[in-house]
Structure 1
Amino acid sequence: MMKSHSPEDTGVEATAPAGTYPTGRSWQGLLFACLAVFFFSTSPVFIRLATPFTSVEIAFWRLAIAALLVLLLGLATRQSLLVSARELPRFLFYGLVTALHFICYIASLSFTTIAHSLAIVYTSPIFVTLFSALVLREALPWRKYAGIAVAIIGVAFMVGFEPHYSACQPQEGHCMLLGDGLALLSAICYGIYSIVGRGERDRHPLFRYTFYVYGLAALWLLPVMLYFAFRHAYPLPALGAVLALGILPLGLGHTLYNASLRTLHATYANLIATQEVTGGILLGILWLHEVPSVTALIGVVVTLAGIISVLV
């Protein structure tokens, strides 16, 4: 039986009882989640600048760079970074789930529209809420489920959710169905990833946990990355963009997200994370001069209303 460390061992305070809105350090968790969204939102800009890197290469290098970053942070803060040999299979599973989240989302974009993929991936709060109740015994009051539904509908509006086909039209939508299925699998993996991050909060300090999750996820993606590597040039601006993707949205963003999971109900943190779409819209206006549609702006308002109704 694996030894469970006390909150003092990990620097994490005890959380509130399941099904209640926690106080005290939960405000720190809300701040971490909001900061994570800011860093998540930089992804679209840097992905644009990362051409000609393939999506698989970007996913691998983001995870590898993030693992190196949290390793350095762990060493700088003198956190113990060792896990026992019997814990490694569990972390290999966590890394696999994380790698599947990224690779399924990336693969879905080859078969379905960006709008469909994003709208389906951000149904993840449904799975987080379900897994929280089943695995962690942290159920939410019934009245909050309506707010979760409203928030997800708002995300669908934001990404322009509409049933048009991608490049797979000749196959009468079968490819699109495959893409939507991959996006759904990505959402489920995101839900598992969120529950795992909360479930391990009393066993491992933050930087140790994130180092193994990011590093092993990169290891799972390494064979696929090598298949696509060295088939194009590697211009310096693209290298800088990939470096930024590893440091900002993943190294800082996902680590802050995992930090928020340690003091917040996983559903709260995950709902806030859906605002990556809102942040991406705002940064798109500022950096890329891409003005969103009225539908997207309506989606922002609807989603924020849903999130507020859940958090209050």
Structure 2
Amino acid sequence: MRLIALTALTMVAFAANSVLNRMAIVDGGMDAFVFAVVRLLAGALLLAALMLWQRKSFEVSALRNPAGVVSLLVYLFGFSLAYRVLPSGVGALLLFGMVQVTMFGAAVLGREVIPMTRWAGTGFAFLGLCWMLWPQPGVQTPFLAMSAMLIAGIGWGVYSLAGRGAKDPVQATALNFIFAAPVGLVMLLILPVNTDAYTANGVALAILSGAVTSGLGYALWYRILPTLGATRAAVAQLTVPVIATLGGVAFLSEAVTLQFGISSILVLGGVGLAILRK
């Protein structure tokens, strides 16, 4: 039960990132890339302070796998770029649908033993995702935003896989953020960024997203990943689109449809089947 509770708390943090990102970029008028960098810096500063408090090492040699840094940057920038257009739930759906494919594929390639119930549960959950993505008549498809989110999904899938071997979740997460932060600042000089497009509210939301729901949330994620395993971790994250959509309804007045309701039943039912040991 403790693992389930920690996993649920982590999924809520992940969903909150979608809602906070949309609130800052759409309602707060913040530039997507500036939001991503402020989020990254906030996470790096909080985690660095936490490491100092716990007297942990900042040695470069502790960063054994650079894939964590690269994949974190790919995820953050693709995530923010996509949310200039996509609703909270749809963005989270695309993100974690691709995470599902990435992590489940890695588990198969790594010859991880996958029970039939987990295959069946994943199938039901993925069917729910496909149902949510089914195009509606008269609705234009934002291919650029969707592609950015799919790339972000690959980034987050790789980031999650890299974290499975972390001996110290706080240190691993902190070093990923700390080493990614200067790269993010350099990218602001290269990318087409509107540095004037920011508000106090947008900055506050970016700091909240970076420090709490990203920095602390990702440290918790790295802590429970070794117990979950690749396939159960992938399936658990399929609950995030449902939670993010509910958050979008509550905070951004996004609509809920019958299509969403049916999809949610399939996703949550599939997750329940796949994530439980018995």
Identity of aligned residues (%): 23
| Separation of aligned partners in 2, 1:223 and 1:311 | 40
- Unmatched segments (≥5 aa) in structure 1: 1-26, 168-175
Task: Report the CA distance shift for 1:106/1:44 in structure 2 as closer, same or farther (over 3 A).
Answer: closer
Compare the two structures and name the one with the higher helix fraction.
Answer: 2
| Separation of aligned partners in 1, 2:65 and 2:11 | 25
Q: Which residue of 2 aligns with 1:5?
A: none
Superimposed CA distance per residue, residues 254-296 of structure 1 (whole angstroms, 9 cap, x where no aligned partner): 2222222032112222322222222122223333444411211
Q: Which residue of 1 aligns with 2:122?
A: 148
2:259 counterpart of 1:285: no
Q: Which residue of 1 aligns with 2:158?
A: 192
Q: Which has the larger radius of gyration?
A: 1
Counterparts of residues 123-202 of structure 1 (less than 5 Å)? 123=97, 124-135=99-110, 137-158=111-132, 160-162=133-135, 164-166=139-141, 176=143, 180-198=146-164, 200-201=165-166
Q: Which residue of 2 aligns with 1:58?
A: 35
| Separation of aligned partners in 1, 2:127 and 2:44 | 34
Give the AA of the match of 2:239.
Answer: Q
| Separation of aligned partners in 2, 1:184 and 1:231 | 26
Task: Report the CA distance shift for 1:262/1:43 in structure 2 as closer, same or farther (over 3 A).
Answer: same
* 4+ runs deviating over 6 angstroms: none
Task: Report the CA distance shift for 1:70/1:270 in structure 2 as closer, same or farther (over 3 A).
Answer: farther
Give SS of 2:256's match: coil
| Separation of aligned partners in 1, 2:117 and 2:145 | 33
Q: CA RMSD in A?
A: 2.8
Contact 2:38–2:210 (Cα < 8 Å) also in 1 = yes
| Separation of aligned partners in 2, 1:102 and 1:233 | 18
Structure 2 residue corresponding to 1:246, chosen from 210, 220, 231: 210
| Separation of aligned partners in 2, 1:188 and 1:287 | 28
TM (norm. structure 2) is: 0.82
Give the AA of the match of 2:179.
Answer: L
2:185 counterpart of 1:222: yes
Superimposed CA distance per residue, residues 56-86 of structure 1 (whole angstroms, 9 cap, x where no aligned partner): 11112212211222222222233334342xx
Task: Report the CA distance shift for 1:193/1:59 in structure 2 as closer, same or farther (over 3 A).
Answer: same
Structure 2 residue corresponding to 1:97, chosen from 58, 71, 79: 71
C-alpha displacement of 1:109: 5.8
C-alpha displacement of 1:209: 0.3
C-alpha displacement of 1:34: 0.9
Give SS of 1:275's match: helix
2:231 counterpart of 1:274: no
Greater displacement, 218-227 / 123-132? 218-227
Q: Which residue of 1 aligns with 2:170?
A: 207
Give the AA of the match of 1:214.
Answer: F
Q: Which residue of 2 aligns with 1:257?
A: 221
